[in-house]
Amino acid sequence: MQNYSFLSLARNALTGHKNWQKAWRSPPLKEKYEVVIIGAGGHGLATAYYLAKEFGITDVAVLERGWLGGGNVARNTVTVRSNYLRDQSIPFYVKSVSLYEGLTKNLNFNMMHSKRTMVDVVHNYPKMRDLRRRQLTMDIYNSTYEKISVDRVRQLIPALTGGGAESRLPIIGGMVHKDAGVNRHDAVAWGYARAADALGVEMHQRTAVTSLLRANNGDIHGVETVKGPVKAKKVVVAVSGHTTTITETASLRLPLRTMNLTAFVSEPIKPIVDVIVNCSDLGFYFSQSDKGELVIGGAPDSAQSFRRDIKQHVFEDTVGAMLELFPSFKNLKLLRQWGGHLDITPDASPIMDETNVPGLFVTAGWWGGYKAIPAGGLTMAHHVATNSPHPLMEAFSYNRFKNLDYILETGTTTAR
Ligand SMILES: Cc1cc2nc3c(=O)[nH]c(=O)nc-3n(C[C@H](O)[C@H](O)[C@H](O)COP(=O)(O)OP(=O)(O)OC[C@H]3O[C@@H](n4cnc5c(N)ncnc54)[C@H](O)[C@@H]3O)c2cc1C
C-alpha cells in the first residue's frame, strides 16, 4: 500500500499528481469466496478490514450495489461519542471512540478526527436526572460526562443567546462529554477500503445482491447478485436500512423498522462554535465543520420509509427549534440537505450476531452507527472468524428480543 506522507505528497506534486496508486483494485468477481460481505458502508468495510488484519482471512468480497461509501456512512453528521446509558453499551462505544482516535495512524489515512467535546443543553429536570444517571454508569467505564451550570453552557457556546429565564423553555444546565468528536466520513470508508484492499480483500461496486442462497440443509450457501451467483460459507449482511429487504429473501424476519433521518448544512461562516451542540429537548444538534459550515441534524421522521430527502415539516421543526436558542442564525443561508434510511430495533440497540440461518451474520439496527464503525467492524470480524461473539458485542444478540433481554437505549441526541 502506498504510504501517504508529507514526502509522498511533495514527490507527487512535482510530477503533477499523475503517479498516485489507485486506492483499491477492481478485480473480476470470482465464483466463490470464504466470506461475502454485503454492503460497502462503514460496517461492511471495517468488518472486511479486521477480518484480514486481525484474523488473516483475506478471501473476502465486499459487494456493494452502488458506490463504495455512498450510503449512510456518507450521509451522517459524523458525531462520535460514548455517552450511553447501559452497561452493555458503554464499553462498546468507549472502545469505538478509542479506535477512532488511532485510526489515522493505523490506516495511514487522515481521518481529520477532532476531539472537540459535546455539550448537552438541558431544559427540564427529568432529562437532567436521566443524563446524571447516565453519568454514574459511564463513570464505571471511564467515559467522561460532567454536569455544568447555565453560565458555563453559555461560556462554551457564546452564540447561544436564547433559552433565558423569560423564554418558553429556559435552560437549566448542561452536560459535557469531553470524549466526543467529529471526523471525516469519506475518509473512514476510503481508509478502511484501501487498507482492506492492501491485505487482499476485494471490493465490488455496482454489484447488488438480490437474494441470499441457502443449501438443502438450510445453511447459507452464498448470494445471488446482478452479476450472477457467488458462493460463500459465511455471509455478513451490512446494508443498514436495507437489512430486512435482504434477510427476508432467506425467510428471516428481524425486528427492524426503517426510518428517514436528515441533515443539512449552512453556508460557511467564521468559526463561532468549537464544540458539538446538542439540544435534544428542542430536537436539534449541530457542529461547525472545518470549512465553516454548520452541520445540523434533527429528529428522525417517525414514519417508516426508505426516502432519502427531507420532509418539509421535519426541516421546519428543526430550523424553528434552532432559531429559538440561536436567533442570530436567522440570516444564515442553507446550502444542502439530504437524508438516509436507518434501521431501528425496538430497544434502539444494534443486532450483531449469527442468525438462525447457519453462516448468515447480520450487523444491523445502526441508527446511530457511525460512531460504532470501528468497534462494530472489529467485533463482527471476531464473531465471523471464530464463530463466537466478541465479549463487547455479546449482548447485542439476535435472540435478545425473544428472551426479553432488551438493552434499552434512547439516543442522547434527538430521539423521540
Ligand atoms: C442524516 C444522518 C445523520 C446521522 N448522524 C450520525 C451521527 O452523527 N453519528 C452516528 O454515530 N451515526 C449517525 N448516523 C447513522 C449512521 O450513518 C449509520 O448508522 C451508519 O452509517 C450505518 O452503517 P453503514 O455505514 O455500514 O451503512 P451504509 O453506509 O448505509 O452502508 C450500507 C451499504 O449497503 C449497500 N447496500 C444496500 N443494499 C444492498 C444490496 N442489496 N446489495 C449490495 N449492497 C447493498 C448500500 O448501498 C450501502 O452502501 C446518521 C445517519 C443519517 C442518515
What's the CA-to-centroid distance between 248 and ligand 1, angstroms? 19
Is residue 131 helix, strand or coil?
Answer: helix
Q: What is the pTM (predicted TM-score) of this model?
A: 0.97
Residue minimizing CA distance to atom 35 of ligand 1: 39
Domain with CATH 3.50.50.60 in the chain: 6-109+184-255+346-401
Atom nearest to 260 CA in ligand 1:
53
Instruction: Enter the C-alpha cell of residue 127.
Output: 432529562
Residue numbers in the chain where pLDDT is lower than 50: 415-416
Cα of 240 vs centre of ligand 1, distance in Å, is 5
Q: Which three cell numbers stand for residue 167?
A: 423564554
Q: Is the CB of 246 under 6 A from ligand 1?
A: yes
What are the beta bridge partners of residue 353? Answer: 362
Q: How far is the CA of 309 from the centre of ligand 1 (A)?
A: 15
Q: Is 404 left (phi over 0), alpha (psi -120 to 50) or beta?
A: left
Contacts of 123 (CB under 8 A, 6+ apart): 163, 169, 170, 171, 172, 281, 282
Angle CA 173–174–179, to nearest 5: 165
- Our mutation pick for probing the ligand 1 site, out of 47, 63, 72, 188, counting the most ligand atoms within 8 A of Cβ, is 72
* Region(s) of the chain under CATH 3.30.9.10: 118-177+258-344
Ramachandran angles phi, psi of 259, nearest 5°: -130, 160
Give nearest CA residue, ligand 1 atom 19.
369
CATH no. of 6-109+184-255+346-401 = 3.50.50.60
Of the candidates 79, 83, 87, 43, the residue with the CA atom closest to the CA atom of residue 408: 87
Q: What is the largest CA-CA distance in the chain?
A: 69
Does ligand 1 have an atom closer than 6 angstroms to the CB of 72? Answer: yes
CA distance 258 to 415: 15
- Please tell me the distance between residue 155's alpha carbon and the centre of ligand 1 in angstroms: 35
CA–CA gap between residue 147 and residue 12 (Å, rounded): 49
Q: Which helix (H) or strand (E) holds 185?
A: helix 185-198
CA distance 43 to 320: 34
Helix/strand/coil for 94: helix
Name 54's Cβ contacts closer than 8 Å, sequence gap at least 6. 378, 381, 382, 385
- Nearest alpha carbon, ligand 1 atom 48: 71
Cβ–Cβ < 8 Å for 60, 51? yes
Cβ atoms within 10 Å of 45's Cβ, excluding its own = 32
Pick the CATH number of 118-177+258-344 from 3.40.50.1370, 1.10.760.10, 3.30.470.20, 3.30.9.10: 3.30.9.10
Check residue 209 and report its DSSP letter.
E
Query: What is the Cα–Cα distance from 336 to 294, expressed in whole angstroms?
Result: 11
The three cell numbers of residue 305 are: 420509509
73 alpha carbon – ligand 1 mean position (Å): 5
Pocket test for ligand 1, best of 80, 370, 409, 414 (most atoms within 8 A of CB): 370
Say how far apart CA 149 and CA 154 lie, in whole Å. 9
